[in-house]
A and B are shown apart, each in its own frame.
Chain A
Amino acid sequence: MTERLRVGLVSFAHVHAPGLANTLGALDRVEFTGIYDDDEKRGRGAASAHATRWHPTLDRLLATSDAIVIASNNADHRRYTEAAAKARVHVLCEKPLATTTADAMAMIDACRSAGVQLGTAFPVRSSPAVMALKEAIAAGSLGRIRAIRATNPGQYPGSWFGDKRQAGGGSAMDHTVHAADAIRWLIGDEFSRVQAEFGSFIYGLDVEDCGVMTCDLAGGAFASIDCSWSRPQTFPTWGGVTLHVVGEKGTVDIDVFRQALTHYDDTAGRTRLVGWGDDLTARMVAGFVDAILARRPVPISGEDGLRALEVAIAGYRSAETKRPVAISDVRA
């Protein structure tokens, strides 16, 4: 019998939690140890819906797990991660890694001191199209990459996502990091400077729901990130991730979630897209689990999460000061 990793799920607050629970229940190499949630009702409901155990305390879940996946609100990532590290349990944390760089660094330190691994949930890296693009860039087929325009606009998720205290910000905190991580990973370079324009234009929130960031990379390329909750309620899907990549020898367009049926649904009275592409969440979690089992470094680290978070944090400072902000200025 193959070795299995015992993995628990902490909190069902995040919109990605159901997908993560499905994955944990389905992966061969995972023994899904159950769910802990600060909100007992939500936790019990989720555990029952996903045919797994509900744990009344975090310690009980940690005691039966080798690793946890954290799907709480953003501000709680640090305390769950530190508790897991203390219990010598590995962590795969939803994005953004934290709401401040100080929290993210504390999480990285806690895991490193405890000898456990910290991973960040960036499923875009698992897209076959994005992986193919990375290979083509590495092989030099596109020539030097000069510019990338990334978009990650979505519908407003509601609940705590618009609450600065729990989320750390609005759409820019929610959406910048996916694109920032994909760009870093694709061209193997680091962000150096960020300019951002944010606005709260659509939902009457205290946080931004519209944002565009324009960034320099250390190696000379530039990139922009649309980090908005700009998809209308009538939009046929939650949102999407696109990349327009301009190289000296070629231009590539990627629409990560393009593989979808258009469903004109008279029963529901609406049109929606039904994705049929690979399950990126499952591949991302499997990559994390396999690395832990093989005692290798996880493919997407806490440092990766921190680097992407720095881009968002620099964006907030730029939007406030109306000037470009160097990444080195938001590093502690």
Chain B
Amino acid sequence: MPLRVGVLGTGFAGSMHAHSALAIDGAQVVAVAAVPLTDATSLAKECGARVASAEEICAADDIDLVVVATPTYLHAQHAIAAARAGKHVFCEKPLARTLADAEAMVRAADEARVTLAVGHVVRFFPEYRQAKELLDAGTLGKPAIVTMTRGNFAVGSARGWYLDEDKSGGVVLDLMLHDLDTVRWWFGEPSRIYAKRFKGSGGLEYALATIRYDERPIVQIEASWAEHSGFRTGFELRGDRGMLVHDSRAASPIALQSPSGPAGPAMMATPTLHETPYLVQLRDLFARIARGEPPLVDGPEGLRSLALGLAVIRSADTGEVVNWKAPQ
């Protein structure tokens, strides 16, 4: 029997996950939700799925797993409703907007004995996996100083809820959270945090955080909604025996230009991998669920990364160093 998937949200993430699920053998997308409902029509059509409200999808009998790709502040209500109805939940990052919400989600999934997985997709990006392998192999020696960057245009100018700190958590919970999770994945739990951020007009926001480990390394993370030319990631990972450098702008194997300027995907597709990390992430999750195994990033793990993001915000808001102790 195929895994029947309901998708909540049709933004970048919802649409990406729906298309990924479509490409996975043994999975099918049966329903898609958006607010307003009509926003779900075209994605539902592409998936051969019905349009339904989030509440209907969470309660439906013919759905095994719910993808929660709604705005951050709604994750908890949707994930908890789905879990209580006995459905597995794949929740976009950040797991929730608040720790209390995240704890309630973890509890609901435990009580319902369903899987709660969190979409920390960077753990499936090959450049970050390669770095982890080289780190673990000792090729780089012991980590010394690491800088990471992630930027995008001011996304709040296109999707207003990002501008509301209480709904989104701003650039820290949207972009920096990826690198905070990566840092935990690569090096474990840090010891203290110091951060700065500003919010400007038109959705401009920028944050810097220094993440210090007891012994080593020192990590600096930059997150920007002022990268006006578009999405960019990068890192420099310096060990005492070498350094790895990644810059997404320097890593694209295809570039398109036209007489009318940058034409983008309307003119031709510019794929860089046969399978996106989003597809690999979802396939891995579905396979683990089929085998009765826990997900790679489960609820408590997503909660810990969220807590680190909230600690960054606390440091930026108070101007003080925040000592870190991961929630158990």
Contact = CB atoms under 8 A, between A and B. Distances in A.
A248 interface: yes
Interface of B: 142-145, 147, 192, 194-196, 198, 200-201, 204, 206, 208, 210, 212, 216-218, 220, 222, 224, 226-228, 236, 238, 240, 242-243, 319-321
Contacts of A224: 196, 208, 210, 220
A210 B319 CA distance: 23
27 contacts: A146-B200, A147-B206, A149-B208, A197-B212, A201-B216, A201-B217, A201-B240, A210-B145, A212-B218, A212-B220, A214-B196, A214-B208, A222-B196, A222-B198, A222-B208, A224-B196, A224-B220, A228-B145, A230-B144, A230-B145, A230-B243, A232-B242, A234-B242, A251-B228, A322-B321, A324-B320, A324-B321
Given A195-B210, A248-B201, A322 B144 contact: no
Contacts of A230: 144-145, 236, 238, 243
Interface of A: 146-147, 149, 151, 193, 195, 197-199, 201-202, 209-212, 214, 216, 222, 224, 226, 228, 230-232, 234-235, 244, 246, 248, 250-251, 322-324
A110 to B, nearest CB: 38
Given A202-B240, A323-B321, A211 B206 contact: no
A232 B238 contact: yes
Contacts, number: 98
A55 B6 CA distance: 84
B194 A324 contact: yes
Contact of B224 (A151, A211, A212, A246): A246
A199 B146 CA distance: 12
Contact of B226 (A201, A226, A246, A322): A246
A231 B224 CA distance: 25
A303 B198 CA distance: 30
B208 A201 contact: no
A210 B239 CA distance: 11
Chain B: interface secondary structure?
A: strand
A195 B318 CA distance: 13
A29 B220 CA distance: 45
A198 B217 CA distance: 10
Q: Is the interface of A mostly helix, strand, loop or mixed?
A: strand
Which of A149, A197, A199, A234 has the most chain B CB within a 10 Å cutoff?
Answer: A197
Contacts of B217: 199, 201, 210
B179 to A, nearest CB: 14
A212 B145 contact: yes
Contacts of B200: 146, 248
Given A147-B198, A323-B321, A324-B320, A210 B144 contact: yes
A244 B192 CA distance: 25
B317 to A, nearest CB: 13
B135 to A, nearest CB: 14
A201 B194 contact: no
Contact of A211 (B192, B216, B218): B218
A322 B212 CA distance: 10
Contacts of A251: 224, 226-228
A246 B236 CA distance: 21
Nearest to B222: A149
Nearest to A213: B210
B204 A248 contact: yes
A243 to B, nearest CB: 13
